[in-house]
Amino acid sequence: RQAEARELMRRAGVLPVVTVASAGQGVAIARALVAGGLPGVEVTLRSPAALDAIAAIREQVPDAEVGAGTVLGAAQLRQALDAGAGFIVSPGTPADVAEAFAEAPVPVIPGAATPTELIALYNRGFRVAKLFPASSVGGVGLLKSLQGPLPGIRICPTGGIGPANAADYLALSNVGCIGGSWMLKPEWLDAGDFAAVTAAAREARAIVDRVRA
Ligand code: 3PG
C-alpha cells in the first residue's frame, strides 16, 4: 500500500483539501478540480456532508480520485472506507490511529509534525507522511533538514501552502506532493464560482508540471 500511496501522491502533484457544505457541492468541486488537471480530492471529515460527498464524487466523477482527510480514529476510518474513500489522510497519527491505518485496504498518508513522529511512522512500515501544519512547523527549511536523516519517507506538506511557495516545496526531493485549500476560496464556493476553482487548479497543475519538467 505504501508504493500505491507514493504513486497517488505523484499523480496528484497537488492534493486539494476540500471541506464540503453538501454532497452536491462536493461533486461540483471535484468536477472543477479535475477540469483544471487535479484528479486528487481529499474531502475532510470536518463537515456533516463529508461522507455523502465522498460517495457522490466516487459515483458521479469517475476521473476524480477521492479520499478522506482529517481521519482521526478507527471509527472515522471505517466510515470513510464504507463511503468509498480511495485513500486516507490524517493531520497527526497517535499510536491507536497508526494501528488502525496499518490495516487499511487503501493507501494512507498519515500525518506527522516532527522527526520523532516521522520515525515512529517509518518504524511501523509507513513510507509516506503528511507534514502538518507544514508552514508553522518549519516549512521548506524543515523538509530540507529531513532529507539527510530520513530519506526513505516521501512527504506531503500541507498547511499554509499557496501559489507563492508551492514550487519551493515541490522542488524538494523528499516531497511527493503538496496539499492545501488555496484553490477552494470560501467566497468562490459560496458564490458557486467553480470556474474560479478550475482556474486555480490549472495554475497549480502548471506549477507542478514546471517543477517536474
Ligand atoms: C489541511 O488539513 O491539510 C489543511 O487544512 C490545509 O491547509 P491550508 O488550508 O492552509 O491549505
Cell digits of residue 77: 476510518
Cell digits of residue 109: 498518508
pLDDT digits 0-9 by tens, 157-203 = 999 999 999 999 999 999 999 999 999 999 999 999 999 999 999 99
Comparing CA positions, the residue from 155, 212, 197 lying closest to residue 41 is: 197
| CA distance linking residue 16 with residue 1, whole number of Å | 21
Q: Is 132 a pocket residue for ligand 1 (Cβ < 6 Å)?
A: yes
User: Rounded to the nearest whole angstrom, what is the distance from the C-alpha of residue 177 to the centroid of ligand 1?
Assistant: 14
Q: What is the mean pLDDT of residues 64-73?
A: 98
Mean pLDDT across the chain, nearest whole number?
97
Write out the DSSP string of the chain. Answer: -HHHHHHHHHHHSEEEEE--SSHHHHHHHHHHHHHTT--EEEEETTSTTHHHHHHHHHHH-TT-EEEEE---SHHHHHHHHHHT-S-EE-S---HHHHHHHHT-SS-EE-EE-SHHHHHHHHHTT--EEEETTHHHHTHHHHHHHHHTT-TT-EEEEBSS--TTTHHHHHTSTTBS-EEESTTS-HHHHHHT-HHHHHHHHHHHHHHHHHHH-
User: Rounded to the nearest whole angstrom, what is the distance from the C-alpha of residue 17 to the centroid of ligand 1?
Assistant: 6
pLDDT digits 0-9 by tens, 153-163 = 999 999 999 99
Question: Residue 75 half-sphere exposure, CB side, CA atoms within 13 Å?
Answer: 0
Q: Is 180 a pocket residue for ligand 1 (Cβ < 6 Å)?
A: yes
Q: Is 182 a pocket residue for ligand 1 (Cβ < 6 Å)?
A: yes
144 is an active site residue = no
| CA distance linking residue 43 with residue 35, whole number of Å | 17
Could you give the percent of the chain with pLDDT greater than 90? 99
Looking at residue 1, what is its pLDDT?
A: 81
Q: Where are the domains of the chain?
A: 2-212
**pLDDT at residue 2 tops 90:** no
Grid cell 476510518 is found at 77
pLDDT digits 0-9 by tens, 91-120 = 999 999 999 999 999 999 999 999 999 999
User: Which of 9, 14, 15, 17 best tests ligand 1's pocket when mutated (most atoms within 8 Å of CB)?
Assistant: 17
User: Could you tell me which CATH class the domain 2-212 is placed in?
Assistant: alpha beta
How many residues are given for the chain?
213
Which range is least confidently modeled, 2-6, 181-185, 205-209? 2-6
42 is an active site residue = yes
Q: What is the mean pLDDT of residues 42-65?
A: 98
| CA distance linking residue 149 with residue 24, whole number of Å | 44
